[in-house]
Chain A
């Protein structure tokens, strides 16, 4: 039992170090937060693997969901091959391990969940909302809602994205008094969504990932074919349920090793008493 706890602790620390490194790499311009300036260098040509608002003064990379809508909003392009190809490539290699290891907003959510409070599980139907948001707010509306010049608007960023409000909106508005005068109804909607998201994350682990994240929805679909995956030797499983109990995403890895919700954190592999679960590229990775 003690060995299992040690292994779980080591696994968590290892993952947190990778998450912190990814957070730092994606937000390498921390000094800009005090001034509210935006980094304008060439690295913004590239997208970050996870959700991270490019209007955050610390951001050194572009947000893939924001970038996808920015290209869709440009009349001569339509759908973005560049961003779609980038997400598809990462997704087919890592699946939702990107969410578990490289998403800055994922780390923020996990830290929020450590705040003491009653903890709840989400009913399964809530997890389908993110697919609806992906189709409607990321693909359809930015392409269909155009102004008289044929220019669309990034509807997911504009009406929903709580990561944008938290990482971009708050630091920018605190440092730009002239922008605060323009606050209106849309900001109220976004602030309400942010408040619901933050409260949700405290009560339910990775509430945004489970319910709202369009990027997680794409990576989740690619979980079924990704190189990095969960392997289960079902015939040796004793159905103790330990893997399901420890899963932060409420997945039963024995029943659904390719679940669109699994973030490949590997906790199930560590707690399995029979070592029948492996997470890795080949299936030979150690459960420690």
Chain B
């Protein structure tokens, strides 16, 4: 039972890493950086 659960965790971790690589390779880093290096008017409450 525990062994199965461990396999399941490893599979989920592998999926997570694949998702990150896919996200980076399709250029998702750019909108994250652009949003984060400028004052986010929505975040500070100016809409």
Please list the residues of chain A having a beta carbon within 8 angstroms of any beta carbon in chain B: 38-40, 44-45, 47, 53-55, 59, 62-63, 66-67, 70-71, 73-74, 77, 80-86, 88-89, 92-93, 153-154, 157-158, 161, 164-165, 168-169, 172-173, 176, 179, 182-184, 186-187, 190-191, 225-227
Contacts and interface: CB of A to CB of B under 8 A. Distances in A.
Interface residues of B, number: 34
Contact of A85 (B9, B16, B38): B16
A38 B47 contact: no
B1 interface: no
Given A44-B36, A80-B23, A82-B24, A227 B9 contact: yes
A169 B43 contact: yes
A149 B15 CA distance: 33
28 contacts: A44-B33, A44-B36, A45-B32, A45-B33, A53-B43, A62-B32, A71-B28, A81-B19, A81-B28, A82-B20, A83-B32, A84-B23, A85-B20, A88-B16, A88-B19, A89-B13, A89-B20, A93-B13, A154-B35, A154-B40, A168-B43, A179-B39, A182-B46, A186-B46, A186-B47, A225-B9, A225-B12, A227-B9
A157 B47 CA distance: 9
Contacts of A227: 9
Contacts of B17: 85, 89
